[in-house]
Structure 1
Amino acid sequence: MSRSSLRRLVGRFEKELAPFSTALAEEFRRSAEVVSDLLEPEEVALWAEDGLELARGSWRSWEAASEYFRATPQVLPLLGFAALQQWSRRGRDLVELSSSLAAAYFRASPGTLPHLSLTQIGDWVMLGQHLYKGTWRSSSLAVQFFDMSPALLSQLSLDDARALVRFVDVLAERSYDLATHCLSTTPTSLAPLPREDREAFLRFAEVLAYTGWADARSYLEKGPILLSHIQASQRSRFLNLTREVAGQEGRQAFTFFAEGARSLSQVEGEFHAYLLSLAEDVATHSPVAAMEFLRSLPQVLVRIGVGDLHHWHAFGLALLETSIEGGTAFFRLESTRSDEVLESLSSRVELGRVAEVLRMYCKALTGSNVAIHSGETLAEKNIGWVTSERPSTEGTSIYLPAAVDEWQDKVENFAVYKVYATHQAGHLEFGSFDFLFERPARIFSDQRHDLETQRGGPKKALTDIERFFDLFDDRRLGSDLFAVVEDARIDRLVAQEYCGIRSSYRRTQDRELEKRPRPEDLPLRQAFLENLVLASLDGFQRMRWPATMIGLLRNALGLLRAVQQPEASVEDSAEATVRLYRLAQNVPNIVSDLDQQWQRLEEEMELPQDLDALGEALFQIAQSGQEMPYESPQPVEFRGEFKPELVQLLMRLRQEKESKQTQMSPQPLSPEQLQQLLEKSVEITLSEMAEGDLSESSALFLANLLKETAPQRPEKRLPYHEGQAPPGMPRESEGELEREPNYSYYDEWDFRANDYKPRWCRLAEYSLAEGESQFFEQTLVKHASLVAQTRRQFELLRPELFRKIKRLLDGEEFDLDAVVDFLVERHSGHQPTGKVYWRRNKVERDVAVAFLLDMSASTDEEIMKHERRFGQDDFDGDPRRYFSWWMSRRAQDIMTPPKRIIDLEKESTVLLIKALETIGDTYGIYGFS
Structure 2
Amino acid sequence: MDMDLERLKEKFYLLVAPSLPNEWDVEDALGPLAESEAACVDEIFAQIPAIWPVSHALCFAYLSAAGPALCYLALDELSLWVHTLLDRYEIGGLHGAQLFMADVDQQFARPLRGQGCLRLTDVRSRLQPYVNGLAGRELHLIAAAEAATDSEAIFLPGEVGVFAEQEENFLLYKLMVSFQWASLAAGVFTEPRFLALHRKSAHPLDCFFSEFSQPDHARRLFHLLETGRVLGFLRQELPGLMRALAPLLPRLPLSGDEAPEPNALDLLQRGLLRGQWPAADHSPFMDRAMALMRHGAGLTGDNAASLEAVREMMALLPPEEDLATTRPLIFQGIFRLQEMRNLGMKQRMDKELRMMQAASMSLPAVPKQADTDVHSGGGEGQGYDAALIMEMERAWDQLTPFMQSQAQQITINEMPEPSGKPSQEHGPTQAVQETVGATEGRAGSAIARSPHAGGGKGGEMAEPVVYDEWDYRRKGFRKKWCVVSEKELPPIQNAFIEQTLKKYRGQIRRLRHQFELLQTGERFVRRQREGNDIDIDALVESRIDIAAGLPPSERLFIRLTRDHRDIAVTFLVDMSNSTSGWVGQSIKEALVLICEAMEVLDDRYAIYGFSGMRRLRCEIFPVKRIDERYSKTVRQRISAIGPREYTRMAPAIRHMTSLFARVEAKIRLLIVLSDGKPEDYDDYKGDYAIEDTRHALLEAKAKGVHPFCITIDRQAHEYMAHMYGEVNYIFIDKIQRLPARMSEIYRTLTS
TM-score by length of 2: 0.49
Richer in strand (by share): 2
Which is higher, the Rg of structure 1 or of structure 2?
Answer: 1
TM-score when scaled to structure 1?
0.41
Structure with bigger helix share is 1
Q: Which has the higher contact order (CA 8 A, sep 6+)?
A: 2
